[in-house]
Structure 1
Amino acid sequence: MKAPDSEKLTINLGFVDLGRIDLLVRDGFYSNRSDFIRTAIRNQLLTHADVATNATNRLSLELGLRTFTRTDLEAVAAANEHLDIRVLGLAIIADDVTPELARRTIASLTVLGALHASSEVKAALADRIS
């Protein structure tokens, strides 16, 4: 299974801001509206990079993509342990993980970014997701 490399967002903009973006696209500064928005977001993330890095370290977040497979969670269960999952980026709980296995092995789940898991697993962990 190939992990997705992005998450789709929907935003609402005022008509004047949208028109200004369209002017910049029309005049060739950006290839399209999405290119403008991605660039603006990246610029803001660079502006606040130190704050984000400090928070990532302070909160002990794993950075990037983290996948939890059935085999991973069965090993946690066999060791009679529990996971406190803290991810900044994308956390994936594999499709073959049952809700029961997830509840038995995942004590808490914090994801800043996106969580990809079956709706059943998300429901089973609802009281543990922050």
Structure 2
Amino acid sequence: MRLSTLLINCLAVGIGGALGTLFRYGLNVYTLSSEYPLGTLLENGIGSFLLGVLAGWCLHQKVAEWLRVGLGVGVCGGFTTMSTFAADTFFLAQFASTPMALLYVLLSLFGGVILAMLGMVYGERKSLQSTKRTEEDS
């Protein structure tokens, strides 16, 4: 990889990460009134779905590498959070109840995987529709 490409990709990831982190912070502030770690659950679910959409889209579209890594690694990586998920799970187990902590883990893990799969299917379908429209217009 050329140095200029690497620098552009790093810049895209940095900008995307900053945006994703700001979105995550906003969602957490919005959901602070919930006693359940709703913000983190939503962040990781939405982020999984969006990363799935991006992956599905990129299967059939030529997307510039800087844009793909900026949105995927940057925005989605900055928006989602494993460390907060781990801390929230520990907090729920210690201060709420083990069943609440277990529910949170199950919703996070299975919900994230399911949302990523749904996002990938959606992104792939939209990509194929876009390709068909472009071919029909030609």
Where on the TM-score scale, by shorter chain, does this alignment land: which range? under 0.3
Task: With the length of structure 2 as denominator, give the TM-score of the two structures.
Answer: 0.25
Larger Rg: 1
Where is the strand percentage greater, Structure 1 or Structure 2? Answer: 1
Task: With the length of structure 1 as denominator, give the TM-score of the two structures.
Answer: 0.27
Where is the helix percentage greater, Structure 1 or Structure 2? Answer: 2
Between the two structures, name the one with larger relative contact order (CA 8 Å, sep ≥ 6).
2
